[in-house]
Amino acid sequence: MSSDAITIFDTTLRDGEQSPGCSMTTDEKLEVAKALVELGVDVIEAGFPIASPGDFEAVKRIAQEFGSRTTICGLARSKIDDIQRAGEALKHAEKARMHVFLATSSIHREHKLKMSKDQIVQTAVEMVKRAHDLIPNIEFSPEDAARTELDFLCEVVEKAIDAGATTINIPDTVGYATPDQFFNVIRHLKQNVPNIGKAVLSTHCHNDLGLAVANSLAGVEAGARQIECTINGLGERAGNAALEEIVMALRTRGDHYKVHTNINTPKLFPTSRLISRITGMQVQRNKAIVGQNAFAHEAGIHQHGMLQNRSTYEIMRPEDVGYVGTNLVLGKHSGRHAFRDRVKHLGFELTDELFQKIFDEFIALADKKKDVFDSDIVALIENHTGESTDEWQLLNFHTLAGTNVLPTATVEMKRNGSDEVIREASTGDGPIDAIFCALERVVQVSATLRDYHVKSVSSGKDAQGEVSVEISIDDHNYHGKGLSTDVVAASAQAYLKALNRALADRKANAK
Ligand code: KIV
Ligand code: ZN
C-alpha cells in the first residue's frame, strides 16, 4: 500500500452498536455491512463474537457473505475463550482480521485488571500469538493507550509486533487526549519502537471532549495510516470519530493532509440515513457533512454570493456526499418514468415489486398532499426496508378518541408465513396508547415506552410525519420508526417495528 493511502476501519457494527439503544438485528447488521462494502471501507469490525450468540452469528454471516470483498474483523479480549470464539466466527472470511485488546494505562492496570506491567506484556504477547495461530492478520490495541506511560506503551507495542501483530491501534478510550498530545503519542511510537515499520499505526478516538475527529487527523499527520471510525460518529458515550467527517476533511483538505482514502463519497449521505433509520439515532440537523442543514444557505448575503460563484460559501459540493435536499420534485401527474428516474437519481435500486409498491404509495401521497419532495420519496423507500423479516405485520387498525370518550383501538395483524388474521382491542390514555396496548396483546410482549418523537419529513400542514419510538424490555432498548400523513398510523408502525426488533433479538440470542 502506498504511504499516502489511509485504511478506513469502520466500527459502526461493534463500538457503534455498543452504545445504548443502538442494537441491531442480524439482518440489519447484514444490511449495514452491505452498505459499508459499497461505501468502500477497507475493514469492517463486525462485532464482538464472545459477547452473545447474536453477535457471534452476525460476525459469522458477515464474514461468509462479505469476507471476499472487504476485510472482516472480530474483537476479542486477551482471553483464550474470546480468541477461539472470534477465530470460529471469522474462519469463513477470505480476508479476516482479529482485533485483540488489553488495557495498558496505570488506572486500568491497577483498578480494573489488577495486573503488573510484566503481566500485561506477557499476556499481550501470549494472546497475540494465540490469535495469530488462528488468523494471520492481527490487530492489537493497548486499551486506554492515550493515558499510558509512553515508555511502557513503546514496550508493549514492540512486543506485540514481535508476537505477530501487523496493525497497532492506539485508542483514546475515554476521549481525554488533545490533538497535540495525540500527535505526540503517535510520533513517539514511530520514533522509538524499533520494529514499528512492520506494523500499520491506527487511531481509535472517542469523542467525550468533542475532539475525536481532530485527534484522529492529528494522528494521521504524525504518521498513522489507519483510522477507526463510525458512521454518524456512533459509539460508546459521546461516540467515536465520525467517518464522514474524517473522509471529507482528508479529501477537501488534500492540499494539507496529502493522503487519500478509497471511500465512494456520494454514498456517505445514504449510508448515514441508513444507520440513523436502523439504530434510531437521529442525526442533528447541523451535523457536519450529513446533517439536513449541512448545505443549506439561508442568509441573503450567502445566497447572493452562491449565485455569483458557488465557491464563495461552499467548500464541498452536496453531490460529492450524496446529499438529498428538500427539492420540490414531482406531482401526481409526473408518471412512472419520471418517478423511476428520480428514484435512481436518489441512489436506490429497487426490485420491480418494491418499485410498484412505492410508486402506488407515491401516487396516494401526491393525492393527499400538494407537494412531494425528495425527502418524502426517500422516506417512503426507507419505510419498506427490512419489513420482509419482521415477525408481525399490521393489516388494519381503528381508533376512537375525543373528549368524554374512553380511547379505544382495535388492530388486525398477521404473523410472517401465516394467513390467519388476529384481532385484538384495548383501551388507553389516548388513541396512541390504546393502539400500543393492542399491539402488545397480539405480540404477547409487554414493553416500557422510553422515548417518543414525531417530526415532519418535509414542509406543509399535510407533510408526512415520521415517528420514532424507543422501548425497553428486560433492560434492553429497541427502537422503531414509522411514516404516514396520519401520526396514529405512523406511531403504530414505529411501535410494532420496535416490538419486532425485540422478538428478533430474543430469537437470535436463544440459539
Ligand atoms: O475504545 C477502546 O479502547 C476500544 C478498544 C476495544 C479498542 O473500543
Ligand atoms: Zn472504542
Confidence band (pLDDT; 50, 70, 90) for 182?
A: very high
Distance CA 227, CA 8 (A): 5
485, 491 in Cβ contact below 8 A?
Answer: no
Question: How many A from CA of 78 to the centre of ligand 1?
Answer: 13
Q: Whose CA is nearest to atom 6 of ligand 1?
A: 101
Q: Which amino acid is at 435?
A: I
Looking at the DSSP assignment, which residues form a beta bridge with residue 227?
8, 203
| Ligand number nearest to the C-alpha of 202 | 1
Distance CA 422, CA 462 (A): 32
Confidence band (pLDDT; 50, 70, 90) for 2?
A: low
Short-list 128, 123, 151, CA closest to 140: 128
Mean pLDDT over all residues of the chain? 92
The CB of 143 under 6 Å from ligand 1? The reply is yes
Provide the residue ranges of all domains of the chain, joining segments of one domain with +. Answer: 7-279, 297-323, 324-385, 387-510
Distance CA 464, CA 196 (A): 55
Q: In this structure, what C-alpha cell is assigned to residue 94?
A: 477470505
The CB of 382 under 6 Å from ligand 1? The reply is no
Substitution site in 13, 101, 148, 182 for ligand 1 pocket (most atoms within 8 Å of beta carbon): 101
- DSSP H helical segments within 193-211, as ranges? none
| Ligand number nearest to the C-alpha of 141 | 1
Atom of ligand 1 lying closest to residue 15 CA:
8
Q: Is 307 helix (H, G, I), strand (E, B) or coil?
A: helix
Short-list 166, 229, 167, 205, CA closest to 39: 229
The CB of 244 under 6 Å from ligand 1? The reply is no
Q: In this structure, what C-alpha cell is assigned to residue 104?
A: 495498558
pLDDT tens digit sequence for 99-149: 999 999 999 999 999 999 999 999 999 999 999 999 999 999 999 999 999
Is the pLDDT at 449 greater than 60, yes or no? yes
The CB of 104 under 6 Å from ligand 1? The reply is no
Q: In this structure, what C-alpha cell is assigned to residue 353?
A: 415489486
Distance CA 294, CA 319 (A): 12
Classify strands 167-172 and 138-143 as parallel, antiparallel or unpaired: parallel
The CB of 101 under 6 Å from ligand 1? The reply is yes
Confidence band (pLDDT; 50, 70, 90) for 177?
A: very high
173, 201 in Cβ contact below 8 A?
Answer: no
Question: How many A from CA of 22 to the centre of ligand 1?
Answer: 17
Does the domain at residues 7-279 carry the CATH identifier 3.40.50.150? Answer: no
pLDDT tens digit sequence for 54-89: 999 999 999 999 999 999 999 999 999 999 999 999
The CB of 176 under 6 Å from ligand 1? The reply is no
Looking at the DSSP assignment, which residues form a beta bridge with residue 502?
none
Atom of ligand 1 lying closest to residue 174 CA:
1
Distance CA 16, CA 276 (A): 11
Q: Whose CA is nearest to atom 2 of ligand 1?
A: 173
Distance CA 283, CA 324 (A): 14
pLDDT tens digit sequence for 325-381: 656 566 667 778 888 888 887 778 888 999 999 999 988 888 887 778 887 888 888
Short-list 303, 171, 186, 297, CA closest to 241: 171
List, in order, residues 6 or more apart from 294 with CB less than 8 Å away: 286, 287, 288, 321, 323
pLDDT tens digit sequence for 465-503: 889 999 999 888 888 888 888 999 999 999 999 999 899
Distance CA 272, CA 246 (A): 14
Classify strands 96-103 and 71-77 as parallel, antiparallel or unpaired: parallel
Grid cell 502506498 in the structure block, residue: 2
Strands (E) across 253-389 are located at 328-330, 372-373
The CB of 207 under 6 Å from ligand 1? The reply is no
Distance CA 214, CA 133 (A): 36
The CB of 141 under 6 Å from ligand 1? The reply is yes
Short-list 68, 36, 67, 46, CA closest to 264: 36
Least confident of 22-36, 340-354, 422-436: 340-354
Substitution site in 206, 226, 228, 229 for ligand 1 pocket (most atoms within 8 Å of beta carbon): 206
Q: Whose CA is nearest to atom 1 of ligand 1?
A: 173
Mean pLDDT of 447-462: 86
Looking at the DSSP assignment, which residues form a beta bridge with residue 201?
168
Confidence band (pLDDT; 50, 70, 90) for 434?
A: very high
Which residue pairs, CB below 8 angstroms and at least 24 apart, start in 130-136? 130/80, 130/83, 131/76, 131/83, 131/86, 131/87, 131/98, 131/100, 131/164, 132/163, 132/164, 132/165, 134/83, 134/84, 134/87, 134/91, 134/98, 135/87, 135/90, 135/96, 135/97, 135/98, 136/164
Distance CA 349, CA 354 (A): 10
457, 464 in Cβ contact below 8 A?
Answer: yes
The CB of 82 under 6 Å from ligand 1? The reply is no
Three-state secondary structure along 436-500? HHHHHHHHCCCCEEEEEEEEECCCCCCCCEEEEEEEEECCEEEEEEEEECCHHHHHHHHHHHHHH
Class of domain 387-510: alpha beta
pTM value? 0.85
Classify strands 71-77 and 372-373 as parallel, antiparallel or unpaired: unpaired
**Which pLDDT belongs to residue 506?**
84
Q: Whose CA is nearest to atom 5 of ligand 1?
A: 143
Is the pLDDT at 511 greater than 80, yes or no? no
Q: Whose CA is nearest to atom 4 of ligand 1?
A: 173
Substitution site in 204, 228, 229, 237 for ligand 1 pocket (most atoms within 8 Å of beta carbon): 204
Question: How many A from CA of 427 to the centre of ligand 2?
Answer: 45
Asked whether this chain's domains 7-279 and 387-510 adopt the same fold, the reply is: no
Mean pLDDT of 144-155: 98
Short-list 447, 424, 451, CA closest to 506: 447
- How many CB atoms lie under 10 A from the CB of residue 136? 12
